[in-house]
C-alpha cells in the first residue's frame, strides 16, 4: 500500500491516512514505516475563527504554490471547513479548482473519539504526506479549541487569520493565537475596520515585547475571495521560512516538536494502560480489599502500578 502511495496512487495514500486517523497499532505501524523516509516537507499551519475565510485563503495559497511548480497537500482538521464537508456548496465548488490537479492533494481529518486524537494523528499524517513526496503541507485548523490551536502552532510557519471587526484581534489573543502566529492575515480587508484590526494586532505585538533576535509576525491584508493579497501572504510565509532556516532555528523548533510529540505519545499509551487496568480483574480485587479496609488506597495503587504492562 505504501509503495503504491509513493508511486502516486491517491487511493493507497487515502487508505494510509485512514489508518492514521483510526489510531491504535495500525497507525503506529504506518508511523514506523513512513518515518525514516520523510524530513523534506515544510509545513504551514493556518488557523483562525470559523468563517474567517481560512479555506478560501488555503485555496489561494495552493494555487500560488502550484504556479511555482510545487506539489502541495492540505490537511483540513477544521470541522467547519468546506474541505471536510461542513460548509456551503459555493465553497465546495470553489475547491474543485484543484480537483483534477495531481500535484494537489486535499484531505480532511476526522479523528474525533480515538485516544490522543488530532494531536497524535496530525503529525503522523504529515509524515505520511512527507514520505510520499509532498514538499509542502498546509494544516488548516479552526482556532477555537486548545488542541486545534496546538496542532496549527506545531507547523513550521503558522498563519493566523482574523477579520475586520471590533474585538476580533482580542478574541484571537484570548484563544492563544497570538503566541503561535508567524504571519497575521487580516482577511475580508475590503470590509470596514480592516485598518483597525491591523493596528490592534500591531499594538498587541508591541506589548508582547519580542526578543531582539525574534521574529516579528508581519500583518498582511487580503481579500481571499478575489485573490487580493495572496502574493503578499506567500511572500510573508517565504520570509519566515528563510528566517527559520538560518542559525539552526528550524532544527530547534522541530526538536521541540519531537519532545512534545514523544511526551504526547507516552501520555496516550499510559492512559491506554490505565484504562486496561481498570477493566481488569486485579483492579476489582484491589477495590474489594480497599472497601473491606484490608488495604489502603495508596498501597493498592502501588500494587496496581506494579502490574501495569510495559508495552
User: How far is it, in rounded angstroms, from Cα 20 to Cα 194?
Assistant: 40
Draw the binding track, 14-43, toward a second copy (x: CB under 8 A; -: no contact): --------------x--xx--xx-xx----
| CB closer to a second copy, 29 vs 206 | 29
Phi then psi for residue 277, to 5 deg, are: -60, -45
The angle, 0 to 180 degrees and rounded to 10, between the axes of the packed helices 249-278 and 230-244 is: 90
Measured from the CB atom, the residue of 36 and 90 that comes closer to a second copy is 36
- Least distance (Å) between residue 177 CB and a second copy: 25
45, 157 in Cβ contact below 8 A?
yes
Instruction: By CB under 8 A, tell whether 278 contacts a second copy.
Output: yes
Residue 140, strand partner residues = 46, 76
What angle in degrees, to the nearest 10, is found between the helix axes of 281-291 and 297-305?
170
Helical pair 230-244 and 54-67, crossing angle rounded to 10 deg: 70
Q: Indicate whether 281 belongs to the interface with a second copy (CB under 8 A).
A: no
CB of 309 vs a second copy, minimal distance in Å: 9
Q: How many residues bind a second copy (CB under 8 A)?
A: 43
DSSP for 231-262, written as a single string: HHHHHHHHHHHHHHTSTTHHHHHHHHHHHHHH
Provide the minimum distance between the beta carbon of 281 and a second copy in the complex, in angstroms, as a whole number.
14
Q: Which is nearer to a second copy, 112 or 293 (CB)?
A: 293
Q: For residue 220, report the phi and psi dihedrals to the nearest 5 degrees.
A: -115, 130
Q: Provide the minimum distance between the beta carbon of 128 and a second copy in the complex, in angstroms, as a whole number.
A: 12
Does 267 bind a second copy (CB under 8 A)? Our answer is yes
Instruction: Please choose, out of 66-74, 227-235, 238-246, 282-290, the segment that lies near a second copy by the rule CB under 8 A.
Output: 282-290
Among residues 274, 276, 281, 285, the one that binds a second copy under rule CB under 8 A = 274
Cell of 237: 510565509
Candidates 70, 254, 280, 285: give the one binding a second copy (CB under 8 A). 254
Q: How far apart are the first and last CA of the chain?
A: 27
Q: Is 269 in the site for a second copy (CB under 8 A)?
A: yes
| Residue number with CB closer to a second copy (20 or 194) | 20
The angle formed by the CA atoms of residues 100, 106 and 109, to the nearest 5 degrees, is 150
3-state secondary structure (DSSP) of residue 47: strand
**Distance (Å) of CA 282 to CA 62, 272, 304:** 54, 16, 7
Neighbours of 40 (CB within 10 A): 10
Does 253 help bind a second copy (rule: CB under 8 A)?
A: no
Rounded CA separation 150/141 (Å): 9
| 251 binds a second copy, rule: CB under 8 A | yes
Residue 191 contacts a second copy per CB under 8 A: no
Cα–Cα distance, 228 to 189 (Å, whole number): 9
259 binds a second copy (CB under 8 A): yes
Least gap, CB of 302 to a second copy (angstroms)? 6
Q: Which of 12, 87, 250, 287 binds a second copy (CB under 8 A)?
A: 287
Task: Considering only the stretches 57-65, 74-82, 241-249, 301-309, report the one whose residues sit in contact with a second copy under the rule CB under 8 A.
Answer: 301-309
Interface ranges with a second copy (CB under 8 A): 28, 31-32, 35-36, 38-39, 251, 254-255, 258-259, 261-263, 265-267, 269-270, 273-274, 277-278, 283, 286-287, 290-291, 293, 296-302, 304-306, 308, 310-311
Amino acid at each position: 500500500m505504501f509503495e503504491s502511495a509513493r508511486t502516486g496512487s491517491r487511493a493507497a495514500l487515502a487508505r494510509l491516512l485512514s489508518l492514521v486517523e483510526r489510531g491504535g497499532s495500525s497507525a503506529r505501524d504506518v508511523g514506523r514505516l513512513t518515518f525514516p523516509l520523510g524530513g523534506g516537507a515544510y509545513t504551514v499551519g493556518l488557523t483562525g475563527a470559523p468563517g474567517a475565510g481560512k479555506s478560501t485563503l488555503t485555496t489561494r495559497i495552493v494555487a500560488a504554490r502550484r504556479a511555482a511548480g510545487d506539489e502541495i497537500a492540505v490537511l483540513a482538521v477544521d470541522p467547519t471547513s468546506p474541505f471536510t464537508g461542513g460548509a456551503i456548496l459555493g465553497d465546495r465548488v470553489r475547491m474543485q479548482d484543484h480537483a483534477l490537479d495531481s500535484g494537489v492533494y486535499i484531505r480532511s481529518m476526522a479523528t474525533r473519539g480515538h485516544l490522543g486524537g488530532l494531536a497524535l494523528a496530525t503529525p503522523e499524517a504529515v509524515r505520511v504526506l512527507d514520505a510520499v513526496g509532498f514538499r509542502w503541507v498546509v494544516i488548516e485548523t479552526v482556532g477555537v479549541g486548545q488542541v486545534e490551536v496546538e496542532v496549527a502552532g506545531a507547523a513550521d510557519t503558522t498563519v493566523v487569520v482574523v477579520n475586520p471587526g471590533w474585538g476580533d484581534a482580542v478574541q484571537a489573543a484570548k484563544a492563544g493565537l497570538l503566541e503561535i502566529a508567524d504571519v497575521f492575515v487580516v482577511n475580508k480587508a475590503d470590509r470596514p475596520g480592516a485598518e483597525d484590526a491591523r493596528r490592534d494586532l500591531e499594538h498587541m505585538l508591541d506589548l508582547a515585547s519580542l526578543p531582539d533576535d525574534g521574529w516579528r509576525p508581519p500583518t498582511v491584508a487580503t481579500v481571499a475571495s478575489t485573490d487580493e493579497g495572496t502574493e503578499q501572504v506567500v511572500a510573508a510565509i517565504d520570509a519566515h521560512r528563510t528566517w527559520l532556516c538560518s542559525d539552526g532555528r528550524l532544527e530547534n523548533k522541530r526538536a521541540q516538536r519531537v519532545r512534545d510529540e514523544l511526551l504526547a505519545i507516552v501520555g496516550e499509551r499510559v492512559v491506554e494502560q490505565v484504562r486496561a487496568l481498570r477493566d481488569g480483574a486485579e483492579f476489582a480485587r484491589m477495590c474489594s480489599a480497599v472497601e473491606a479496609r484490608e488495604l489502603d488506597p495508596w498501597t493498592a495503587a502501588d500494587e496496581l502500578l506494579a502490574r501495569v504492562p510495559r508495552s
